Each structure stands twice: as structure tokens, then as C-alpha cells.
Copies of this chain bind each other. A is one copy, B any other.
Amino acid sequence: MKIMVIDPITTKEWLPRNRAYFERIADEGTEVEVAFLEKGPKTIETFHDVVYAGPEILRIVRDRENETDAFIINCCSDPGLYAAREITDKVVLGPTETSMSVALHLGFKFSYISTLKKTAPRVRLQAIQLGLESRLASVVNVNITVSGLEEDPEKTVQAVVCAAEKAIDRDGAEVIMLGCTGMAELARMVRDRLNAPLIEPALVTFKMAELFVKIGLSHNRAPGKMYSLAEADKIVGYV
């Protein structure tokens, strides 16, 4: 089984560490590939950044689908998720869709720890789309940019723990979802200090992709359905 992780950003210096992370969590027998974008945003923090990540995500899916069993779009905005499903029969998962549904099994309500305050409406809209808004206790931000998350890991961990405790004590959260895949490598440190289940979205999504491939489950792509085939040759000016 081969799983392709698409990091929908251009900051390629994060590639080695990122690949190592996924290789560590992969099942024996799962091959991991990690791709970054040639063109697009350095990090994703806005609707604007999501727009610029889109075309390259789809190019990678199209280029690599023959040799891949499942794609993960490794950003909590789930950029291009529905579009990617329109151009491949392979499994395509996004961390927020996956994590929010997994949260249902772990406790009553979950909170989402975001990087910036501005993210909250986007997260609520994602939850509303999935029908899960009534299970979203709150979105609490740590006020650190994505690129700043790893500058001072200890400070980030403290900020995440503090936000999570606010979510638990003030908002009644029973489950904590990290709201940025850039927090993946710090998740273990957060988990040790937290008295609640912690969802690390990159981890959960990767394992779910393995699961879907193993049991042969994929998206409905019949004509007339949400993810039915998009005609690629309608696009002008993109290779």
C-alpha cells in the first residue's frame, strides 16, 4: 500500500521531518510519500491561501494517482478535498473532516485549537457542513502563526495546553482536536500534560487512509453524485 501525503504548501524544508513523522506512524507494509507544492502558499492561514494551494494539489493527485492508493491533503483547511475526489478513484482524506468525525466517538463535545483567531469562523463553517456544529464546543486560538509554531516548541506546547484547558473548563469540551497539522510533532508533549483525549489530525487521517484502503472503501463517483468525474480538459492555461 502506498499513501501520498500532500503538504499543500511550498515550505519544502519541512519535508524530511514530515516524511519521518509519517514513516514512524505507518503500518508495516505501508509506503509513504510526501509531496510539497511547487507553487502556492508558504503556509495556509486564510481562505486566500487555500485558493492558491488548489491547482497544485490537483496536479499532484492527477500526476500520481496511478502509483498511489490514498491521498492525504495534510492541512486542517482541507483545501481542494472535494475537488480532488472528483479526479481520482483513490481515497482522498482531509484532516478536519476525518478528525471531527472521530471526535464523535471519544466524548460529548470537542474543541478545536487553532493558530489564529481569524480561523474560528472557517472552522465553524466546516463543522456546519458536516452537520457536527452541535458537537463543537469552541474554537480556541493560541495566537501563533503556522510558521511560528516550531520557533519555540516549549512555548507552543504551553500555549496549546493552556487553550485546551480553557476549552475544557470554560466551554465544556471533552475532546481536544489540534487545529493545524504543523502541531503534529508537538502533539505527544501536549498529550502528556492534558487530561482529555487529544486528536492529532495528521496521525488520525493517515491511519484512516490505511484503513479505507485495507477494506476497499472509497468515495461514490457515479455520474450525478457529489464526487462524479470532473472534466480535466476544460481547464485553460494550467499544465
Question: Which A residues are closer than 8 A to B by beta carbons?
Answer: 10, 25, 27, 38-43, 45-52, 54-55, 57-58, 80, 82-83, 85-87, 93, 97-98, 101-102, 104-109, 116-118, 120-122, 124-125, 128-135, 172, 174-175, 195-197, 199, 203-204, 207-208, 211-212, 214-215, 217-220, 222-228, 230-232, 234-238
Contact = CB atoms under 8 A, between A and B. Distances in A.
A130 B218 CA distance: 22
Given A40-B235, A106-B218, A108-B225, 18 more contacts: A39-B238, A40-B237, A41-B234, A45-B230, A49-B234, A49-B235, A51-B57, A52-B55, A52-B235, A97-B105, A107-B220, A108-B226, A122-B226, A131-B133, A175-B220, A203-B215, A204-B215, A211-B211
A118 B223 CA distance: 7
Nearest to A122: B226
A221 to B, nearest CB: 9
A127 to B, nearest CB: 9
Nearest to A79: B51
Nearest to A173: B220
Contact of A225 (B45, B52, B174, B217): B174
- The winner among A43, A51, A101, A231 for most chain B CB atoms within 10 A is A51
Given A48-B86, A58-B51, A108-B226, A197 B220 contact: yes
B120 A237 contact: no
A186 B178 CA distance: 39
A96 B222 CA distance: 25
Contact of A128 (B52, B121, B128): B128
Contact of A47 (B86, B116, B214, B231): B86
A230 B133 contact: no
Contacts of A45: 230-231, 234
A228 B10 CA distance: 23
